[in-house]
Structure 1
Amino acid sequence: MYISIPRDWSNVVRDRRTDLKMTQEELAARVGKARQWVVRFESGHAGSANIDSLTKLLAVLELNVEVDATDEDPDPMFMLDLDDADGSEL
């Protein structure tokens, strides 16, 4: 799955968390954040998260990220390819 905007991050995180049958409280505790941080992230405010928080979040959710700058556009946009840790695409 390719994501390019904060709202995409929100959807992936919420869907993966629910797939893992994890509550927002459990995810927040494992990432070291308050539940409100998870609520905001899942509500589309992912753009304000720093790389350290994203790294922890992805590790807890067992997701891998591949960053790819497309060269088709003169001003490339970074796209993120999210796969399960086992390599299967979400």
Structure 2
Amino acid sequence: MIITTPRELGLAMRDRRKALGLDQVELAKLIGASRRWVIDAESGKSASLPFLLRALRALKMQMKFSADDELPRSTQQTLPAIDLDEVIARARRSTS
């Protein structure tokens, strides 16, 4: 997955946290942060790099960096399709 915005990173972290069966409080405890930090990070707001790296490790995620000209042409401008119906359904299930 190619992530280009803080919001995309936050959504990826949230999806991974949920896939691991963690709630925001549990993740916060694992990395020594507050729940507010997790909420802000998942919404793409400012997040400190040390906590961000701890969160990625706790979520068993990693970041890889490359220059745009090193990427294959097919991935430079292709973003994954988002199924809005699925996003809405997930949001409704999580609030039920």
- 2:31 alignment partner AA: V
- Which structure has the bigger radius of gyration? 2
Question: Given the two structures, how large is their TM-score scaled by the length of structure 2?
Answer: 0.68
1:55 corresponds to which residue? 53
Aligned-CA RMSD value: 1.3
1:17 corresponds to which residue? 17
1:65 corresponds to which residue? 63
Aligned residues: 70
- 1:43 alignment partner AA: S
Question: Given the two structures, how large is their TM-score scaled by the length of structure 1?
Answer: 0.72
Structure with the larger strand share: 1
1:7 corresponds to which residue? 7
Taking the TM superposition and a 5 Å limit, the aligned residue runs for 1:22-41 are: 22-41=22-41
1:39-70 per-position Cα deviation (integer Å, ceiling 9, x unaligned): 1111221xx22221111011000012111111
Deviating above 4 A after TM superposition, structure 1's stretches of 4 or more consecutive aligned residues are: none
Q: Which one scores higher on RCO, CA 8 angstroms, separation ≥ 6?
A: 1
User: Distance in 1 between the 2:55 and 2:67 partners?
Assistant: 22
User: Distance in 2 between the 1:58 and 1:41 partners?
Assistant: 11
